[in-house]
Structure 1
Amino acid sequence: MTDIRWTLKSKAETSHVNNLAWDLQVSDEIANLLCQRGIKTFDEARAFFRPNLKDLHNPFLMKDMDSAVARINKAISCGENILVFGDYDVDGTTAVALVSSYLMQFTSNVATYIPDRYVEGYGLSIQGIDFADDNNVSLIIALDCGIKSIEEVAYAARKGIDFIICDHHRPGEQLPEAIAVLDPKRQDCHYPYDELCGCGVGFKLIQALAHGRGQNIEDLLPFLDLVATAIAADIVPVTGENRVLAYFGLEVLNSKPRPGIYALMTFQKKREMTLGDVVFIIAPRINAAGRIRHGQHAVNLLTESDYKNATILAREIEDFNSDRRELDQLIKDEALTQILEKQEEKRFTTVVFNENWHKGVIGIVASRLIETYYRPTLVFTKSGDKLAASARSVKGFDVYNALEACAEYIEQFGGHKYAAGLTLTEAQYPMFKERFEEVVSKTIDPNLLIPEILIDDEIPLSSITPKFYRILKQIAPFGPGNLQPVFISRNVYEIGQAKCVGKDESHLRAVFQQDGSDRFVSIGFGLGKKLDLLANQKRVDIVYSIDENEWNGSVSLQLRIRDIRPSSMG
């Protein structure tokens, strides 16, 4: 896979750019970036650059929130046992840590429960409800799961256990018969923002509870490190309310994070976290607990108040993550071999299966396979008497809808546009595999099978100044819906210092200059293969983002190269 589409966004309307540049006293390039993000007035720009906790919506606008608050308050006042139940991924474990630690301020009758990935599978489980029953629990708060758990909620009701569901996945045609179902994606829910993650819905719940207890939003700030971690890990849009939560959550992460997160940061020698750092440093380690051992280890880490104990738990998590990385590589290699042996390189989909693959890492492996074969991908393994798979998609293609079209061969599935999970019987696997290939081949735009770099603007290298970068940094936190700006500069040249770097020399280090510009040290991860291109071309076009490089106490601007081509200007 070598082709990459370069797609240059259209410039924003000139009058809007000119007016905003004048009002803000910024360059046209900055004004264009803001207009492309829908920010066209001074007031909109002020709200964007200065997120405010007052911009968070009233939690009682969410359907069933009043019922949820009333039931929890009753449980607290009556001394009922409450079980906080959540999924085993980052979103679920952070949500469980958030809600349980908040409730513990008012009652000690709170326990947490994370299902065993390999015994119980995803979502609400009969085993979890039986655990609640055995421990005299009368209220279960489900986080990041439960929206389709009709039978499980009914089973709990027969045992006298009430349910409050806090989810953000798409509901089915029928909702569970719970005391409250908090999900902004409910068709009858008119909450102003429907892109919250599971932990975000959990935060709205404690925000509503806090309202009746004389607490204000500032009292809830210490919980936002968990919310920011979940927003980053669950790849939800960093827009609207998520942007506010992520912005203040990062402030907590970088000033006074909880001991468990601080311990993870210390192990990585990371002093200041961006949302991207959370994605690549914190999230994989929290996820590793549920993938390798059990998600409860992550909850224990995130709720530990003693730093010394948190350090011990974080070391354990680090070990889980090391094991996870080894498994990733092993299974990826075996999957690539399977694709070649079956001569499936030219298909529209990747669907692979090995009964011995570790269930906890098949989602990561699916993402890794997309790096080689850029197409919708499912990785299956054996799970009890069924096959379980993780699905990942390419930008622009809804894999959830594709799975819906294959429902006759699926026992159970759920998820999002770009990531989903499913189970089926081994007998159904061959028919499902061919049906999935058929559905994707008939519905996917062939262009979506070529990876794309979306470019915000074309600028000369001379536009890159310390002031320009200072303003760019204020557009953060970056994520879906507010991606880090990507630029193209044409007809640049490398000054003769290009070389391959890294343990396997797979990365490219170069120094680029344009006529009349400063020189910029540049790094291109995974672009070592472009060294020959630089040797053979006097002028090239580069696509890049801008960041800082710190070396020996000195900080300088550098270009993070995304791709390089021979110059289109000759």
Structure 2
Amino acid sequence: MFKSKAKWNFIEEDAEKTRWMGDSPDISPVIKELLVQRGINTSDAAIEFLSPNKESLFMPEDLLGMDVACERVHKAINQNEKILVFGDYDADGVSSTTLLLSALQELGANCDYYIPNRFTEGYGPNEQAFSAAKDQGFQLIITVDCGIASVQEASFAESLGLDLIITDHHEPQEKLPEALAILHPKCSPTYPFKELAGVGVAFKFAQELLGYFPEHLLDLVAIGTIADLVPLINENRILAYYGLQMLSVTKRPGLRALKKQCKIEGNVTEENVGFLLGPRINAVGRLQDAGLAVEMLMTQDEDEAEHLAEVVQNLNQERQQIVNEIVKEAEALVNESNIKGITIVAKEGWNEGVLGIVASKLVRKYDRPAIVLAINSEKGTAKGSARSIPAFDLFQNCMKVKDYFTRFGGHSQAAGMTLPLDNISLLQHELNELIQETLTEDDFKQEITVSKTLSIQEINEELVNEISQLAPFGMANPKPTFHIKQVPSSVRQIGAMQNHLKIQFNQESLMLDGIGFGLGDSFPFISDKSPLSVVGEIGINEWNGNRKAQIVIQDLQIDEQQLFDHRGKKQIEIMPFIENANSYLAIGNDVEHRLKQVPVNFNQMSYITDKEFFDPVDTVFLFELPDSLDDLRIIIQKVKPANIHLCFHLEDSQYLKSFPSREDFKQFYALIIKRGYFDIKKDLFALMKGYDWTEERIRFMLNVFFELEFVIIESGLAKPNTSPTKRKLQESRLYQQRIERSDIEKKLYYSNYDDLKKWFQRLIEDVDIPKEELTYGL
């Protein structure tokens, strides 16, 4: 057996809910089931989901405050008042800023933008920035992707005589800011969809201001919506769907240059945005002023776009390097502390802008909630980010100890915080207490939601194309993960570091490839011909013009007993197997010389050990052949191992030696009787030559004769017993041992893998094995 790294949650099929699609021949059964899993249970909803329609978008005027906000902006434009777009430094904020600024410029507004510095100002509006805006002659400030919690800052703006319009999508607090207008889906009781991204709200505002549907701004909407991880359903799905199409053919020099840096060609996907474009835009605000990203998106100059995109690319590479360095330092701190609950690491000099990424990596590695803090020794504070596991609500639990924080905000899986240095250990203690009270060991495992089990026959390019109709994938509309259980035809490690896994499945005449990135360390734990369960996403692998379906494996496990065949190897590496096992047992004495590395407190026993000392274990290593198959049977049935490793190595095989026939015994005994003696030293060579017998065969027959008292051996002479008792050869213990040893070798050392695996499975299941099978091999 081999346990999965994550917990697999299979979605149960609801046959009742799929009946409404019974008359839809154009929709495959798999797609029908996936739609039902997404809450789609009418034909109209299915059509709308599979074919998103811009006509289904809600009207911008449905947002509360839209009329007031638009009236004020048009007034400012007519009177040439200066308008400031105040944004955020992440991809949603940058795209929101660019979008609204573009719309205002199209209307002829006298406008500019401002994004606060992450390190010197922090998130959202601040009084210093508002004062500077007043000094520069701005009369109207419009926030995008921020401002809903800026109660004090809104009052300050009013005191300066500045009009403030807030557009945001973050969680409203108990008290709302006193602004001229607030455009926020969750503050609009009649607005049907509450989960727009910041850029989605900005787009609604731009649409109402322009008086038409600004399709040319949808490329920006796609970036902010997908990068901000809002649910990709309802309006977000429609906006992202058409936004990706616009992004694929965008005329913005900055986006085209950035796509070139990312080597994105053809149709842009949500994965391109989530893993390539979004992180690069985010990298700017993580390391320096995010205004550079806005300039890249706004410029109409091709040369400037190329230059800015290259700067952004370099910043992203720098960000990656910084993250890698901090991750190494953080992992070292975690390993030193040996913490079992929440992981909290803090160090001076860490870049605050990347600590959320570092926390995410720690969560994935250690399967624990993680808080990563940068220490400011001068202020005596620590500031950073936190990420969590699904079973632990970070926001709710941190709110129980909110007095430890100077500032705190976030949601169930992510948060940001500032706290005094003295409170770090107190915070860790309290959160660990909460974790111990609420979580079980199983809760710490990562979770993978599995949509359906598929056969090899069901996976093909047609199914992949059908599944693509569900895109774009994201929050609330995840890319389907499927389960396959099949004996692989081949498993191998690939990559320069051998850290990836390549698996091939064959069923009848069909073949399916699987690739498991980062799963190369699982290779030693997959035995031959074991049914392998894998979960992953299916897609198309294109190579040299050939296209075929494949599964990108996220996790794997083996549910059945495994037999690992190391027979004949003089040295064996068992440390990985021992480290992976909860318990193990090694049968064989003084076998350390056979191991590449000897485990600490190596637990060895022999076949003659009192069987009462044997307890159930995960893994058994068999280094020596038993003297009796019955001894082996008793041990295996006693410990019932999930994994058995055959580590036998023979220097002197009895099975490979030819066994003397009955006629051989008769001839040799007749010769001794005739001559009256046999001089072992003098006559041995002549007998070997005359009968083509080996020395070992001759000595074995002599020892059998001696045991049965057919001869007397004295001073190297074998003489016939003058009055022997009539006995059969089978009465000789040596004779029987030789037969039994030969049969044991034949069964356990020379038999083929398939038959031997079946035999061990029958032992585990405690099924009676026929006597002839025990005697004569498989």
Return the TM-score normalized by structure 2: 0.69
What is the CA–CA distance in structure 2 between the aligned matches of 1:469 and 1:277, rounded to whole Å? Answer: 18
4+ residue runs of structure 1 moved beyond 6 angstroms?
Answer: none
Q: Which has the higher contact order (CA 8 A, sep 6+)?
A: 1
Cα distance, 1:537 vs structure 2: 4.4
Name the counterpart of 1:250: 244
The answer on whether the counterparts of 2:461 and 2:540 sit within 8 Å (CA) in structure 1 is no
What is the CA–CA distance in structure 2 between the aligned matches of 1:394 and 1:225, rounded to whole Å? Answer: 32
Name the counterpart of 1:203: 203
Q: For residues 48-87 of structure 1, what are the structure 2 equivalents within 5 Å?
A: 48-87=49-88
Cα distance, 1:444 vs structure 2: 4.7
In structure 1, give the amino acid aligned to 2:245.
E
Name the counterpart of 1:8: 10
Name the counterpart of 1:526: 518
Q: Deviations along 1:437-485, whole A, 9 cap, x unmatched?
A: 3344444565432111110011211011332222111011111111111
Name the counterpart of 1:551: 543
The answer on whether the counterparts of 2:165 and 2:181 sit within 8 Å (CA) in structure 1 is yes
390 and 190 in structure 1: CA distance in 2 versus 1, 3 angstrom threshold: farther
Name the counterpart of 2:138: 137
Q: For residues 176-187 of structure 1, what are the structure 2 equivalents within 5 Å?
A: 176-186=177-187
Local SS of the residue matching 1:104: helix
Local SS of the residue matching 2:106: coil
Cα distance, 1:263 vs structure 2: 1.2
Local SS of the residue matching 1:389: strand
Name the counterpart of 2:307: 312
In structure 2, give the amino acid aligned to 1:528.
G
Aligned residues: 557
Matched, 1:359 2:352: yes
What is the CA–CA distance in structure 2 between the aligned matches of 1:390 and 1:503, rounded to whole Å? Answer: 34
Q: For residues 318-357 of structure 1, what are the structure 2 equivalents within 5 Å?
A: 318-344=313-339, 346-347=340-341, 349-357=342-350
What is the CA–CA distance in structure 2 between the aligned matches of 1:229 and 1:520, rounded to whole Å? Answer: 34
Cα distance, 1:328 vs structure 2: 0.5
Local SS of the residue matching 2:231: coil
Matched, 1:381 2:374: yes
Cα distance, 1:548 vs structure 2: 1.3
Q: Deviations along 1:203-248, whole A, 9 cap, x unmatched?
A: 111122123xxx2x2xx11211111111221111111110001100
The answer on whether the counterparts of 2:245 and 2:268 sit within 8 Å (CA) in structure 1 is no
What is the CA–CA distance in structure 2 between the aligned matches of 1:295 and 1:442, rounded to whole Å? Answer: 42
Q: For residues 259-338 of structure 1, what are the structure 2 equivalents within 5 Å?
A: 259-271=253-265, 272-338=267-333
Matched, 1:26 2:27: yes
In structure 1, give the amino acid aligned to 2:13.
K
What is the CA–CA distance in structure 2 between the aligned matches of 1:164 and 1:398, rounded to whole Å? Answer: 33
Q: Deviations along 1:495-522, whole A, 9 cap, x unmatched?
A: 22x3222343221122222x33621122
In structure 2, give the amino acid aligned to 1:558.
Q
What percentage of residue pairs aligned between the two structures are identical? 36
What is the CA–CA distance in structure 1 between the aligned matches of 2:195 and 2:85, rounded to whole Å? Answer: 22
Q: Deviations along 1:164-207, whole A, 9 cap, x unmatched?
A: 11111111111111111222223x63321111111111111112
In structure 1, give the amino acid aligned to 2:427.
F
Q: Which has the greater radius of gyration?
A: 2
Q: Deviations along 1:50-106, whole A, 9 cap, x unmatched?
A: 101111111222222222112111111111111111111111111101111111111
In structure 2, give the amino acid aligned to 1:549.
N
Name the counterpart of 2:229: 235
Q: Deviations along 1:31-51, whole A, 9 cap, x unmatched?
A: 111111112222111101110
**Deviating more after overlay: 545-554 vs 166-175:** 545-554
What is the CA–CA distance in structure 1 between the aligned matches of 2:182 and 2:430, rounded to whole Å? Answer: 34
Name the counterpart of 2:399: 404
What is the CA–CA distance in structure 2 between the aligned matches of 1:73 and 1:412, rounded to whole Å? Answer: 38
What is the CA–CA distance in structure 2 between the aligned matches of 1:408 and 1:149, rounded to whole Å? Answer: 21
382 and 142 in structure 1: CA distance in 2 versus 1, 3 angstrom threshold: farther
What is the CA–CA distance in structure 2 between the aligned matches of 1:182 and 1:439, rounded to whole Å? Answer: 38
118 and 457 in structure 1: CA distance in 2 versus 1, 3 angstrom threshold: same
Local SS of the residue matching 1:195: coil
Q: For residues 332-481 of structure 1, what are the structure 2 equivalents within 5 Å?
A: 332-344=327-339, 346-347=340-341, 349-382=342-375, 385=379, 386-444=381-439, 447-481=442-476
The answer on whether the counterparts of 1:99 and 1:203 sit within 8 Å (CA) in structure 2 is yes
What is the CA–CA distance in structure 1 between the aligned matches of 2:85 and 2:189, rounded to whole Å? Answer: 23
**Deviating more after overlay: 15-24 vs 235-244:** 15-24
500, 505, 511: which one pairs with 2:498? Answer: 505
In structure 2, give the amino acid aligned to 1:10.
E
290 and 5 in structure 1: CA distance in 2 versus 1, 3 angstrom threshold: same
In structure 2, give the amino acid aligned to 1:507.
H
In structure 2, give the amino acid aligned to 1:90.
A
The answer on whether the counterparts of 1:494 and 1:534 sit within 8 Å (CA) in structure 2 is no
Local SS of the residue matching 2:300: coil
What is the CA–CA distance in structure 2 between the aligned matches of 1:547 and 1:224, rounded to whole Å? Answer: 27
Local SS of the residue matching 1:430: helix
